[in-house]
Structure 1
Amino acid sequence: MNNHVRSILQEAACLDVPVDTLGDRDDLYAVGLSSLGSVRLMMAIEENFAIEIPAALITHDLFQSIDSLARMIAHLVPEESLAPRI
């Protein structure tokens, strides 16, 4: 899941550093995630996973790290829908 989040970050977030240099718990705001970037990231996640992130979950902490985003996605997306399709 974290690698999937990294791919989305790479395309949507416009960070100041390459995504592949980040640890899973690194502060995304410290590396350039802006409010506009977090909105773009949220929209990309929703589109990618065909979900709608509930307003109650959309907090500063949600976009803090790759780990926090991956936990939220895992909470909203059934595990069987993440399995590779054959």
Structure 2
Amino acid sequence: MEESIREIVARHGRLTRAISEVAGGDDLYSLGLTSHAAVNVMLAIEDRFAIEFPDSDMSKNTFGTMDSIVATVHRLAG
């Protein structure tokens, strides 16, 4: 699951660093993720895992790090 999420972030996140160089706790927003790019990441993750992010998870905290994205997707996907 994490590898798929990393591929999505690499494709849609517009980061300034290669995804292979991004640690789980790195601040994605400081690496170039914008709110627009975060929405694209969210939509791609929803499509890939057939989940829907509730309003409560549509926040900068959710998409701020790879660790937080992966944890949220694990929780939502069950």
Residue in structure 2 matched with residue 49 of structure 1 by the alignment: 49
Percent of residue pairs bearing the same amino acid type: 32
Q: CA RMSD in A?
A: 0.9
Residue in structure 1 matched with residue 11 of structure 2 by the alignment: 11
Residue in structure 2 matched with residue 76 of structure 1 by the alignment: 76
The higher radius of gyration belongs to: 1
1:62 alignment partner, SS class: coil
1:28 alignment partner, SS class: coil
Report deviation, 1:70: 0.4
Gaps of 5+ in 1: 79-86
Report deviation, 1:4: 2.1
Q: How does 1:23-62 map to 2 (within 5 A)?
A: 23-62=23-62
- Give TM-score scaled by structure 2 length: 0.94
Runs of 4+ in 1 over 4 A off after TM superposition: none
- Give TM-score scaled by structure 1 length: 0.85
The whole-number CA distance in structure 1 between the counterparts of 2:53 and 2:46 is 7
Q: How many residues align?
A: 78
The whole-number CA distance in structure 2 between the counterparts of 1:4 and 1:56 is 23
